[in-house]
Amino acid sequence: MYNRTAFILSVLLLGSIAATVPTVASAQVVVAQRTNQEVKQLLEDGRRMVDSGDYNGAISVYQQAASLEPKNASIQSGIGYLQALQGNLQAALSSYRRAVSLNPNNGDYQYALAYISGNLGDNRTAKDAYRKAIQLNRNSVDAYLGLATVLLRLGETTNAMWATEQAMNLDKNNPQVFELRGTFLMKQGKRGDAVTLFRRAREIYAKQGKQENVTRIDATLRQLGG
């Protein structure tokens, strides 16, 4: 599920293609706009298509821009975002791989590669990419949570718990941290401790108005008899 939280990165990357250019990913697109009028026009056309909801058209236009600026990683990431938004994760994976190969030291690209790889079941690639994302940005709560998730899938429970601890140190009121740690304890048969954490996650989700998440937690609590 490619939810809003996991898409924060990609939304920022899309911004680098469109009008609002975030600092992290702006440099290469700015260069393209200054040196190549054709690329500039393509980026503007793509932005208008995105604004109108024509994602296929935007992808086609950005691919043309990428052919003119083949070393522009942010264009590749923008293509990957739109492909993922349409549910075409395999194509998005290829685009983010290209972005990472062009700029391996961008933590945002590594995070996107990790997230999509994990959603496609390639947990080992996801694990490596999450670790690289964390090395590049030690303050990324989402990267620690993503790493914890794939480590849990790989059976590396101790390391997964460590990753959630790092996330909790960065954000003590993140409901995903409590939910994930509750999941670990549930798998270990520690029902009472798990219920406590799930209830805390539910409380925060409710305050945030995230009813879908509240409903999910309620179902888990019923399963645990809590």
In this structure, the answer to whether residues 99 and 122 fall within a common structural domain is: no
Is residue 205 situated within a structural domain?
A: yes
In this structure, the answer to whether residues 113 and 87 fall within a common structural domain is: no
In this structure, the answer to whether residues 116 and 80 fall within a common structural domain is: no
Query: Tell me, what's the pLDDT at 102?
Result: 96
Q: What is the CATH number of the domain that holds 65?
A: 1.25.40.10
In this structure, the answer to whether residues 98 and 112 fall within a common structural domain is: no
Task: Give me the tens of pLDDT residue by residue for the chain, a chain 226 residues long.
Answer: 334 333 333 333 333 322 222 233 333 444 444 457 888 888 888 889 988 989 999 999 999 999 998 999 989 999 998 999 898 999 999 999 999 999 999 999 999 999 999 999 999 999 999 999 999 999 999 999 999 999 999 999 899 999 999 999 999 999 999 998 998 888 889 999 999 999 999 999 999 999 999 999 999 999 998 7
Instruction: Using alpha carbons, select from 170, 196, 171, 169 the residue that is nearest to residue 181.
Output: 196
Cβ 218 vs Cβ 226: under 8 Å: no
The residue out of 62, 82, 103 marking a domain boundary is: 103
Cβ 117 vs Cβ 92: under 8 Å: no
CA–CA distance, 59 with 94 (Å, rounded to integer): 14
Handedness of CA 3, 91, 117, 69 (dihedral sign): negative
In this structure, the answer to whether residues 54 and 97 fall within a common structural domain is: yes
Instruction: Using alpha carbons, select from 22, 141, 25 the residue that is nearest to residue 77.
Output: 25
In this structure, the answer to whether residues 142 and 116 fall within a common structural domain is: yes
Is residue 28 situated within a structural domain?
A: no
In this structure, the answer to whether residues 47 and 91 fall within a common structural domain is: yes
Is residue 69 situated within a structural domain?
A: yes
Is residue 23 situated within a structural domain?
A: no
In this structure, the answer to whether residues 112 and 91 fall within a common structural domain is: no
The residue out of 117, 138, 163 marking a domain boundary is: 163
CB atoms within 10 A of CB 192: 9
Instruction: Using alpha carbons, select from 179, 149, 182 the residue that is nearest to residue 163.
Output: 149
Is residue 5 situated within a structural domain?
A: no
Handedness of CA 225, 186, 128, 110 (dihedral sign): positive
Task: Count the domains in the chain.
Answer: 3
Is residue 148 situated within a structural domain?
A: yes
Is residue 19 situated within a structural domain?
A: no
The residue out of 163, 193, 209 marking a domain boundary is: 163
In this structure, the answer to whether residues 38 and 98 fall within a common structural domain is: yes
CA–CA distance, 22 with 12 (Å, rounded to integer): 7
Predicted model pTM:
0.78
Is residue 12 situated within a structural domain?
A: no
Cβ 45 vs Cβ 26: under 8 Å: no
CB atoms within 10 A of CB 122: 17
In this structure, the answer to whether residues 124 and 97 fall within a common structural domain is: no
C-alpha distances in angstroms, 31 versus 3, 18, 26, 178, 184?
Answer: 32, 14, 9, 43, 47
Residue numbers of the domain that contains 122: 107-163
CA–CA distance, 67 with 61 (Å, rounded to integer): 10
In this structure, the answer to whether residues 202 and 220 fall within a common structural domain is: yes
In this structure, the answer to whether residues 57 and 95 fall within a common structural domain is: yes
